[in-house]
C-alpha cells in the first residue's frame, strides 16, 4: 500500500493509555496468566509489543477475536503459528458467543503447571488469576461480558480493585482482571497503522478515508479478486481510484452539485469490510511474516 493514509503521521497515544500501561505493570505480580486479545484479521498489527516485555514470566494466551470476520484457513494458520511460539490459543466471536465455551478449559490448560505447583505446596482450589488486555476496539469488553454473562461480579477487597479495572469471578476456578485498552506510542511501521485503521482501531476523523479505501481496494484486488466486482458491480483493475469512482457512481454517492462523493464511497467500502459484508477476509497472513 503506497498511499499515506493519515492527515498527519499516525502517532496517537493519549494520556490515559500511559496510565493504563503503568496500571498493567503494577498489577502483573497479581496474575498467573496474560490473556491477550487480537483481531483475527490483523493478528500481528493488533498486538501490543509492550505486553511481551511485561508478561515475560507469565503463562500466555492469545485470543483470536472476530474470527468470524476472518478467513477460516488463515485463522487455523495463525492458531498453529502462535502455538508454535508457545502460546495457548483460542479463536472466538465475542459478539455472537462462538468459541467462548472453550476459553475456560484453555485457561486451565495454560496454567496447568502453576496449578500442579500449587498442589505440591499444599495450596488447593486457588483460582487462576488472568489479566485480559488488548488494544482499543479489539472487542475486549464484549469478550469479557460474553464470557462472564450474568455471573460477572466485582470480587472486591483485593489488590487491583481501583477505578479503571476490576476483578471478575467467572467461577471458582478463574478470576479475570479487566484493564483499559492500550495502544503503543507510535507506529514505526506505516503498514501497521494502515491495518489498524482499516479495521477501525484508530478514530476515523484522524484519517484520510479516500486514501485508506484505495489501499483496501488494492489489497482486495490482489488477495481476494472478484469480491469488489460481486459486491459493487465494478471493474477490478490496477487503477484503484477508477474502482472507487465506480463504487461512488453505483452506490449513488453524490454531492449537492451532482459530483461524485468519494469520501462517502470510501466510508461505505470501509464499513462493509469492517462489518463482514464483503465476506471473511484476513489482511495479514502467516506467510507475510514468515517471508520477512
Q: Are 197 and 190 in contact (CB under 8 A)?
A: no
**What would the pLDDT profile of 98-137 be if each residue is shown by its tens digit?**
888 889 889 989 988 888 888 888 887 788 999 998 887 8
β 166-171/174-178 pair status: antiparallel
CA distance 69 to 115: 35
CA distance 292 to 289: 5
The closest of 5, 17, 4 to 207, measured between CA atoms, is 5
Does residue 201 surpass a pLDDT of 90? no
Q: Quick one: average pLDDT of 25-40?
A: 92
Q: Quick one: average pLDDT of 82-90?
A: 95
Q: Quick one: average pLDDT of 141-147?
A: 85
Q: What confidence tier does 14 reach under pLDDT thresholds 50, 70, 90?
A: low
CA distance 269 to 33: 38
Q: Which of residues 153 and 44 earns the better pLDDT score? A: 44
Q: For the whole model, what pTM was predicted?
A: 0.86
Phi then psi dihedrals of residue 95, to 5 deg: -65, -40
CA distance 143 to 98: 10
Q: Are 104 and 148 in contact (CB under 8 A)?
A: no
Does residue 40 surpass a pLDDT of 70? yes
CA distance 201 to 68: 17
Phi then psi dihedrals of residue 266, to 5 deg: -65, -40
264-271 contacts, C-beta under 8 A, 24 or more apart? 265/213, 266/209, 266/210, 266/212, 266/213, 266/214, 267/209, 267/213, 269/213, 269/216, 269/217, 269/232, 269/244, 270/198, 270/200, 270/209, 270/212, 270/213, 270/216
Q: Which of residues 39 and 154 earns the better pLDDT score? A: 39
**What would the pLDDT profile of 232-262 be if each residue is shown by its tens digit?**
999 999 999 999 999 999 999 999 888 999 9
Provide the mean pLDDT of the chain.
84
- As given in the structure block, the three cell numbers for residue 17 are 493509555
What pLDDT is stored for residue 7 in this prediction? 40
Amino acid at each position: 500500500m503506497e498511499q499515506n493514509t493519515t492527515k498527519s503521521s499516525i502517532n496517537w497515544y493519549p494520556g490515559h493509555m500511559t496510565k493504563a500501561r503503568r496500571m498493567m505493570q503494577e498489577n502483573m505480580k497479581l496474575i498467573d496468566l496474560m490473556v491477550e486479545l487480537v483481531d483475527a484479521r490483523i493478528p500481528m498489527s493488533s498486538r501490543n509489543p509492550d505486553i511481551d516485555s511485561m508478561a515475560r514470566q507469565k503463562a500466555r494466551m492469545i485470543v483470536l477475536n472476530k474470527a468470524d470476520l476472518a478467513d477460516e484457513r488463515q485463522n487455523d494458520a495463525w492458531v498453529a503459528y502462535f502455538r508454535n511460539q508457545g502460546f495457548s490459543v483460542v479463536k472466538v466471536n465475542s459478539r455472537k458467543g462462538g468459541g467462548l465455551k472453550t476459553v475456560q478449559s484453555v485457561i486451565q490448560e495454560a496454567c496447568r503447571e502453576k496449578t500442579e505447583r500449587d498442589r505440591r505446596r499444599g495450596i488447593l482450589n486457588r483460582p487462576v488469576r488472568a489479566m485480559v488486555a488488548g488494544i482499543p476496539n479489539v472487542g475486549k469488553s464484549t469478550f469479557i461480558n460474553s464470557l462472564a454473562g450474568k455471573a460477572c461480579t466485582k470480587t472486591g477487597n483485593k489488590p487491583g480493585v481501583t477505578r479503571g479495572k476490576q476483578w471478575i469471578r467467572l467461577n471458582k476456578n478463574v478470576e479475570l482482571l479487566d484493564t483499559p485498552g492500550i495502544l503503543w506510542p507510535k507506529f514505526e511501521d506505516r503498514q501497521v497503522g494502515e491495518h489498524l485503521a482499516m479495521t477501525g482501531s484508530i478514530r476515523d476523523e484522524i484519517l484520510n478515508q479516500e486514501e485508506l479505501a484505495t489501499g483496501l481496494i488494492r489489497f482486495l484486488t490482489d488477495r481476494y479478486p472478484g469480491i469488489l466486482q460481486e459486491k459493487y458491480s465494478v471493474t477490478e483493475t490496477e487503477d484503484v481510484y477508477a474502482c472507487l469512482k465506480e463504487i461512488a457512481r453505483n452506490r449513488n454517492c453524490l454531492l449537492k452539485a451532482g459530483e461524485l462523493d468519494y469520501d462517502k464511497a470510501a466510508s461505505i467500502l470501509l464499513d462493509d469490510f469492517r462489518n463482514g459484508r464483503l465476506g471473511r477476509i484476513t489482511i495479514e497472513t502467516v506467510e507475510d511474516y514468515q517471508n520477512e
